[in-house]
Each structure stands twice: as C-alpha cells, then as structure tokens.
Amino acid sequence: MEREANVPAFTFGWMSADIAAEIMKWQYPPPYSVYSMSGGEEELAELMNGTYYYALSGDGEIAGYFCVGGSARVPGGFAVGLYADEFCLDIGLGLRPDMTGRGLGACFVKQVMAFVEEEFRPRRLQLVVAAYNIRAVRAYLKAGFYEIGQFQSMLGNEWVPFIAMRCHLRQPTLVTERLRLRPMTEADAGDLVELAKQDDRAGRSLGELEDVSGGRLLIRAWKHRHYTLRQLQWGITRQSANAVIGWVGLNDLDPERERAELDLYLSPAFRGAAYGRESLRAVAWYGLEQLRLGRIQAAAEPGDEGYRRLLEATGFKPDKKPQDHSLREDEPGAGGLYILRKCDTAGMNDWASACGVVY
C-alpha cells in the first residue's frame, strides 16, 4: 500500500515492558476516555501477552500500538458468530492521544495493514469499533474497511453498540485447466491499453485508455475497490503465456445482500476456444461458494448474441426482475439481464473440481 505524502512512516516491533508502561499512562479525553488505562498489573499482562506490537513515529517516539488475534476480540462478537471465519485475522489499534484528530488515523491503519499482511499473510482483516467513535470509523473506511454488521458488547460497565468491519487483503488467482485468472498488476497496463483498442465494447468498459499511465491508474483503482470488497477484477491469461487476453470481474459487490454483477471481456483473437465459459465458471464458483453470494447477475448488450449464449450455457437465466439490477431497461446499453442463483447450480461440484485457488 502506498503511503500518503506528509505523514509519518511508522515502524513496528513486538511490545516491550518499557513501552507498555508508557502506553498505560496515556489518557484520552471524553468521549474516548474509555480507552484510557489505569496502569494496573492486569493491563500490563495484557499488553505483554505476545499479541501486541508497538508503533514508533519517524523521530523514534511511541506513536501507537496494535494487537492481533484473540486480544482484538470483544465478548459480544462471539454471540453473533463474528469470529467463525478461520481465514480472517482480527486486529485492534490505538493511536497516542495527541496524535488523534489530526488526520493521521487512516495512514496509521494502512501501515499497520501492510505490516500485518507481510507478517501473517491473512486473507482478510477484521476489527470492531465502538459505534460512537465516528472518527475511527471514518479512518477505517478510508483505509479500505467496510461495515459487515453491528452488535452490542460490554465496554467497562455498560452495554455499547459496536460496528464490525472487514477488509480483504489478498485476492486469489483462479487456476483452470487452461487458464490463470490472476489479479492484475501495474505491469499489465500495456495489455489493457491494447485491449481497449480491440472493439467498442472494450473501449466502453475500460474508458479512454490512451497510454500506459492511464492503465496503471485503472489497475490501482481496481485494487482499492478489492480491499473494500466492492469489486474483484481478474486478468485472463493462458497457462502457456502471461499476457492478459481479457478480464472477468465481480462488480458492485454487495456482501450484505449477497449479490454481485459479473463482467467478462475476451479479446476477439481468443474467442471460440471456450475460454469465456471456463472463465465464467471459475469466477461464478468463487463468488457463490467462496464469497457465499446468493446470486450473480450479468447484462448482455443488445445484439451481443454470443455473450447471451455464453451466459445461458454457463447456467445464467433471464432475470425476471430487472429492477433489482443497477442497469435499467431504459438506460443506453442495457440489454438482456441474466441471473445465476446458487440454488440453480447443480453442476457446481464439477466447477469446483475444475478450478484451483492460489493465494
């Protein structure tokens, strides 16, 4: 993750007794005073339990701390099944009182995320925050977290509403018999520029990509939307070559409503080899089984009979309720709307056996 300009570069390390003693002296003003510590032996033992890390600012001063695993969990989360995901690492963060309210929160969170990703290699990160701590919620949203629910838990001597938030760090590569559907990097920008020139549909989907710098910006935007699980975009490559020959994605992801919209584009030079069906099945399986979506929708433009046939061959059926789709029938470019429901995928086991997931 890139660091914004004019913000400190934090360094992290395992919590020490001396640093823990300093952190326990921090006092936060109302309404954040609940985060202040009393300096007791139990608090020291908590900070020294092996799951806490300190953060130093560029000048070597103690700037904050964070914890991972069980130390980042609150009792109320267990009651709502928040901690059932074995691939999700829980984190908790604290910033020195005089550094809060200065716009440094998102930067601190992003750098913690980068450290944790390198150290633990989790697929997803999760945290909880008191609902009244609006500035922390904003910092987490800016860093790429999204809300997944709310619940009540004890904080001090009272019940407090909490917001649970999650961030997806690692998008997998999907491996099929002949293809590798992989997250794109900025090195693929040139391939995107060439794809944008293929036909009108590619140009509309990618926008006006005039040069490689525009392609890089687009890939960065896709990556950010992946963190917040709003979009997952894969470059389609053959196992025998690394060049991107198309893309397939899940757009407008809505985890709460368990839905997403699928988009596929394949270079004309590679159509007719069933690469499209292979790509659709892999991404549909990942969305329905791994992301636990209930349905995936797709739109075929007017006159694109090849894409319609491809959707139908993959199991998509005409959508009888287009009002649920972000595309409306009266919008330019809106054609046939199709939907694939998890309950309609009788051959999903075959799809799973034909697709591997690599993180």
Q: Mapping DSSP to helix (H, G, I), strand (E, B) and coil, where does residue 70 land?
A: helix
pLDDT at 67: 98
Instruction: Tell me the mean pLDDT in the region 78-99.
Output: 95
Residue 358 pLDDT more than 90?
A: no
Question: What residue spans define the domains of the chain?
Answer: 11-168, 173-358
Per-residue confidence band for 256, with pLDDT thresholds at 50, 70 and 90: low
At the fourth CATH level, which superfamily is domain 11-168? Answer: Gcn5-related N-acetyltransferase (GNAT) (3.40.630.30)
Cross-strand bridge partners of residue 153: 160
Per-residue confidence band for 200, with pLDDT thresholds at 50, 70 and 90: confident
What's 328-357 look like in SS3?
CCCCCCCCEEEEEEHHHCCCHHHHHHCCEE
How many whole angstroms separate alpha carbon 333 and alpha carbon 203?
Answer: 13
CA dihedral (37, 42, 47, 51) positive or negative: negative
Residue 52 pLDDT more than 50?
A: yes
Question: Which pLDDT tens digit goes with each residue over 291-318?
Answer: 878 899 999 988 889 999 999 998 999 9
Cβ within 8 Å of residue 341, ≥6 positions away:
294, 295
Q: Do domains 11-168 and 173-358 have the same CATH topology?
A: yes
Per-residue confidence band for 128, with pLDDT thresholds at 50, 70 and 90: very high
Instruction: Tell me the mean pLDDT in the region 174-195.
Output: 96
Cross-strand bridge partners of residue 163: 129, 150
Cβ within 8 Å of residue 345, ≥6 positions away:
284, 288, 315, 351
Lowest mean pLDDT among 21-25, 67-71, 145-149: 145-149
How many whole angstroms separate alpha carbon 51 and alpha carbon 206?
Answer: 44
Residue 257 pLDDT more than 80?
A: no
Instruction: Tell me the mean pLDDT in the region 262-276.
Output: 95
pLDDT at 330: 42
Per-residue confidence band for 334, with pLDDT thresholds at 50, 70 and 90: very low
Query: In terms of CATH architecture, what is 173-358?
Result: 3-Layer(aba) Sandwich (3.40)
pTM for this model (two decimals):
0.71
